Amino acid sequence: MKIVKNKNNRGGVRLGAGRKSGSGLYGEETKVIRVPRSSLGNIKKYLNLSRINNIDEISLALKETTYNPLVLFEHKVPAGFPSPADDHVEKRLDLNEYLIKKSDATFFVKIKGDSMIDASINDGDIVIIDRSMQAKVGDIVLASVDGNFTIKTLSKYKLKPRLLPANEKYKPIEIDDNTQFELWGVVTGAVRKFK
């Protein structure tokens, strides 16, 4: 009986070989903990979000839900507003529910600057971004271009993506093969506080 050896005799003691420290999923030391089964899903979701977005700390603020089913007057008549008593449709409205479809694929960005002013997105507004949606031409998207984040309308030009600002002061951004370009998500809504 023969002992089959490796045909090749490569490798050997190599200084500095091996996987590098910090090359893991989280880039840092991990610990083992025991958690109740019903919390597993939430915790994994949390870890996933923080990993993807490269966030140091997410404070799991577990305040009481502020959900207050409030009243919505929905106006049906184009010119002016009808008497609420006669013509409005009353509805309960939860703003989270109204504006967010997939909560675990959604995050918010606060707008700085006026480049989307013609799309009624102003400095200080908060836009709602859905990472899970497939962006189409015409959508307002969050993208990174050469390392900078920007919110623009997605367009196409000569088979390449093109980002259009909604303000005449700014020029479209053309994306070529030398441009780092990544779509982060589709802007699905916006909120503004006046007071």
Partner DNA sequence: CATTTGAATATTGTAACATTAATCAAATAT
Partner DNA sequence: ATATTTGATTAATGTTACAATATTCAAATG
Q: Which residues, numbered 173-192, are part of the site for DNA (CB under 7 A)?
A: none
Residue in 195, 189, 192, 194 with CA at minimum distance from that of residue 125: 192
14 or 37: CB nearest a copy of itself: 37
d(CA 114, CA 93): 30
Binding partner of residue 195 among DNA, a copy of itself, none, CB under 5 to 8 Å per kind?
a copy of itself
Maximum Cα interatomic distance, the chain, rounded to a whole number of Å: 99
Kindly state the smallest distance separating residue 84's Cβ from DNA, in Å: 21
Helix (H, G, I), strand (E, B) or coil at 100: coil
132 in catalytic set: no
Does 172 engage in binding with a copy of itself (CB under 8 A)?
A: no
Contact window for DNA (CB under 7 A) among 15-23, 76-84, 136-144, 172-180: 15-23
Spatial distance between the Cα atoms of 101 and 130, rounded to a whole number of angstroms: 8
Task: Please state, in angstroms and rounded to a whole number, the distance separating the CA atoms of residues 108 and 82.
Answer: 35
152 is catalytic: yes
Stretch that binds DNA, among 18-26, 136-144, 175-183, 186-194 (CB under 7 A): 18-26
137 contact choice in a copy of itself, DNA, none (CB below 5 to 8 Å, kind-dependent): none
Please name every residue paired with 142 in a beta bridge, in sequence order, or none if there are none: 151, 185
Binding of residue 22 to DNA (CB under 7 A): yes
Task: Match 């006046």 to its residue by tokens.
Answer: 194
Given 76, 152, 158, 195, the catalytic residue: 152
Residues with catalytic roles = 115, 152
